[in-house]
Structure 1
Amino acid sequence: MKVQCDSENIDSLRRLGKRTDKCRPVLVTFTTAKKKIELLKRKKMLAATGYYINEDFPQQVLNKRKELQKQAEEERKKGNFAILKYDKLVILPGNSNSKMYTPKPNNKRTLSNSPEITPTSDNIGSTGRTTTQQISKKNKYDIKRFLHDSTSNKDQ
């Protein structure tokens, strides 16, 4: 499954059911939810093998999910997208083959291009590289003058 899982990632591990000659399921508790989600996302890789991974739910939730499973299949036949989340049924209109969520457009600000600098004798430094000068800002000098004037008025 290509998931790195060490002994420090596992909190507890135990077999379920009575001892018999048959195979018994194993209940694994992980120390972090991240590792559990990582394994559940990759459980499809075990489809061709005889192994499977399921999430463990309490008995009342399992009974509720069994009832909702029938309703989910009916909704899928209607063409809606239906999935079970814990003990709830989530139904989204649309084709069952489409993605559950449409990707959001990229809302990041596009960066403006820097102005072209043509090398002249004014902006070429001693190292031979072009240098840029900061554009003077009117407010910068006005604020300095204001602060200077206000401090000098207090002195008088």
Structure 2
Amino acid sequence: MDLSEAAFEKIFTRMKYEMELQTETIYHRLRDSLNDEITDVRKKQEESDEKIKHLENKISLVENRERQRNIIFHGVIAENWEKEEKVIEIVNEVMGITLERNEIQFSRRLGKSNKSPILINLSSQWKRNKILKNKRTLKQKNTEVYVTEDFPKEVLEERKKLREQLDEEKKKGNVAYIRYDKLIVKGKTDSKKRALSQSPQQDSNGASPSNQGPAKLHKGDTLQQEKARSTQGNDEA
């Protein structure tokens, strides 16, 4: 049976609509499937990033613990085979601190020259802190040797940035110093201010008469007072 042109057009339009509908359905399914895959990949990436960050934090923690026993000596001129003996000699004879060979866990040059800084890892954090606490003795004895802490790279960069600000604060007369990666400013020191903090009434020993107790009475003074009270009582009677 022959189809009329109108009927054929109707069938064709119907088929076209169904094909477009199927195409759109397939498109949405593919899109949703790809979105799910992308979401899954992103989730796995985030988990991986989190694991990496966790591992980096653990490594950083271990390194920082290790650094707590590190100390860097600058200005020590010695061949690699004698660098530890030279450091021990400086600590013992110049700084007056006993350092034994077995207290050094390991050492290495921070450079290729025999003048490069020497990093020393000690078995005791207490001994490392003692050396840092007495580092001024090196300057007082006019040596070219000085010691510093072993800071992480990011801390060194931050300290470098703070140097200019530190110099500005010192020019203002403020007491300022860098502690780890922070600038500490304590203001100006004024000796006159400290002198005025004492009361003008204080004696040569720094004691104020107003804070002293009542004067002690001698035995004779006490008898005289008792006699005066007795006489006064008789007169009133």
TM-score of the two chains, using structure 2 as the length reference: 0.37
Distance in structure 2 (CA, Å) of the matches to 1:90 and 1:50: 27
Structure 2 residue 112 is the aligned partner of structure 1 residue 11: no
What SS is found at the alignment partner of 1:74? helix
Match of residue 31, structure 1, among 123, 126, 138:
123
Larger RCO (CA within 8 A; separation ≥ 6) = 2
Identical columns (%): 39
Task: Within 5 Å, give how 1:1-156 maps onto structure 2.
Answer: 1-18=95-112, 20=113, 22-47=114-139, 48-95=142-189
Deviation at 1:13, TM superposition (A): 1.4
Distance in structure 1 (CA, Å) of the matches to 2:105 and 2:169: 39
Residues 28 and 70 of structure 1, relative CA distance in 2, 3 Å threshold: same
What SS is found at the alignment partner of 2:127? helix
What SS is found at the alignment partner of 1:53? strand
Deviation at 1:96, TM superposition (A): 8.4
Deviation at 1:73, TM superposition (A): 1.5
Relative to its length, the structure with more helix (as a share) is 2
What SS is found at the alignment partner of 1:57? coil
Distance in structure 2 (CA, Å) of the matches to 1:75 and 1:51: 27
Q: Which amino acid aligns with 1:46?
A: L
What SS is found at the alignment partner of 2:147? coil
Q: Which amino acid aligns with 2:187?
A: P
Q: Which amino acid aligns with 2:103?
A: N
Runs of 5+ consecutive residues of structure 2 not aligned to the other structure: 1-94, 192-237
What SS is found at the alignment partner of 2:111? coil
Query: Aligned-residue CA RMSD in angstroms?
Result: 2.0
Instruction: Tell me the matched-pair count.
Output: 95
Other-structure match for 1:105: none
Aligned partners of 1:16 and 1:26 also within 8 Å: yes
Q: Which amino acid aligns with 1:33?
A: Q
Give a deviation string over 1:12-35, Cα, whole Å, max 9, x none. 2122212x4x42221001122211
Distance in structure 2 (CA, Å) of the matches to 1:96 and 1:33: 36
User: Would you identify which runs of 4 or more consecutive aligned residues in structure 1 move more than 3 Å?
Assistant: none
Distance in structure 2 (CA, Å) of the matches to 1:12 and 1:96: 46
Aligned partners of 1:81 and 1:96 also within 8 Å: no
Aligned partners of 1:15 and 1:26 also within 8 Å: yes
Deviation at 1:83, TM superposition (A): 1.0
Other-structure match for 2:12: none
Distance in structure 2 (CA, Å) of the matches to 1:60 and 1:96: 36
Other-structure match for 1:124: none
